[in-house]
Amino acid sequence: MNTKPLWWLAILTVVAAAFGRPVSPRHWQYKTCALGDPHEPTCELNALGAQGWELVPATPFTWSDGTASARVFFKREIP
């Protein structure tokens, strides 16, 4: 009897079991800020990046005085 096919089956089973393990979900913290907002001067992009925040999306908008700006959204993983 040839046992070579049984080794491949054993290897395939081990690999499938390794990839089939559930991964614990990641937890995120979110933050938004408006670029150019005089009431929210904490939107320093370099400082936020240094603190571990990642820029996710940004959406353009216009202030009531006609000034163009953008609302930016950030996330960082909670350990």
Q: In this structure, is residue 4 part of a structural domain?
A: no
pLDDT of residue 66: 84
Q: Which residue range is the domain that position 73 belongs to?
A: 26-79
Positive or negative, the CA dihedral 40, 44, 47, 51 is: positive
Our CA angle for 52, 56, 59, nearest 5°, is 135
Let me know if residue 15 belongs to a domain: no
Domain-located, residue 60 = yes
DSSP sequence for 53-67: -EEEEEEEEE-TTS-
Position 26 pLDDT exceeds 90: no
Assigned domain for 6 exists: no
Per-residue pLDDT reduced to its tens digit, 29-77:
999 988 877 666 668 889 999 999 999 999 998 888 888 888 999 999 9
d(CA 36, CA 63): 10
C-alpha torsion angle, residues 13, 16, 17, 23 (rounded to 10): 180
Whole-model pTM above 0.75? no
